[in-house]
Amino acid sequence: MSARDTILQRLFDGRTEALGETQAQVPASQFHVLAQVKMSLPARLQAFQQAMAKVEGEVIVLTRAQWPQKMAAWLADHTQAQRILVPPAHHVLGQALAPLWQGQWGHTWQVRTYDAPIETWQAELFNEVDLAITSTRAGIAQTGSLVLWPTPEEPRLMSLVPPIHVAILDSQRLYNTFYEVLQVEAWAQQGMPTNALLISGPSKTADIEQTLAYGVHGPKRLIVFVLVDEEMAEVCDAP
């Protein structure tokens, strides 16, 4: 037996002796408190907006029928971003955003997609993209968080590198708690991607003297457009 094996065996024997014949029992998890959190859609939206605002996130509610054009108009009025990264044309979000590069909405952006290995255009991504638009898997009202599942069409660098990240969230996928996301989305049964992302606000760090600072690395702004049905528009103050 090697010296390493001898040491590990002694550690194992000592643990076994300390436990005795009775093995430690892991208590059953209790999630009933989280399961009791049930809010209406307007209440979830309000909670989501308030939680996002606390971490410098911006939330805008738009109707599902007209959101692409109104989003484009808002971006033209509120940002200086001209170079935009979007999902490819065959992607559902890419199809909705096609008028961005076709000039149909009275404003022309320089639009490109993540259509090459990062090694071939890393410098462009880090230096020549002002804003990226991504879809989202879900939203969490209680914590003001977004869930993103990166794919080949929407790699994780889309939401982690450009100075401005615009996320599109369908209100039907805005859940009360993270626990509800896990349950309804059935993550345990359906599996997860290699890099699932939970995003709460723009980039931030407290590395320097434990003082929280925003925009130190990655996106300096996070803008979330939440899409609602027409009947919910007035209740949720959607334009």
End-to-end CA separation in angstroms for the chain: 74
Cβ atoms of residues 144 and 198 within 8 Å: no
Domain ranges within the chain, ordered by starting residue: 39-233
What is residue 15's predicted lDDT score, i.e. its pLDDT? 57
Give pLDDT < 70 ranges for the chain. Answer: 1, 12, 14-27, 32-33, 206-215, 233-239
Please give the order of strands across the beta sheet that includes 110-113.
58-63, 221-228, 164-170, 131-135, 83-86, 110-113
Q: What is the 3-state secondary structure (H, E, C) of 68-134?
A: HHHHHHHHHHHCCCCEEEECCCCCHHHHHCCHHHHCCCCCCCEEEECCCCHHHHHHHHHHCCCEEEE
Give the Cα separation of 239 and 236 in Å (integer): 9
List CB contacts of 136: < 8 A, sequence separation 6 or more: 146, 147, 148, 167, 168, 169, 170, 173
List CB contacts of 123: < 8 A, sequence separation 6 or more: none
What is residue 239's predicted lDDT score, i.e. its pLDDT? 58
What is residue 233's predicted lDDT score, i.e. its pLDDT? 67
* Fold designation for 39-233: Rossmann fold (3.40.50)
Q: Are strands 221-228 and 58-63 parallel, antiparallel or unpaired?
A: parallel
What is residue 210's predicted lDDT score, i.e. its pLDDT? 65
At 79, the amino acid letter reads T
What is residue 194's predicted lDDT score, i.e. its pLDDT? 76
What is residue 187's predicted lDDT score, i.e. its pLDDT? 82
pTM comes to: 0.81
What is residue 17's predicted lDDT score, i.e. its pLDDT? 55
What is residue 165's predicted lDDT score, i.e. its pLDDT? 96
Cβ atoms of residues 174 and 145 within 8 Å: no
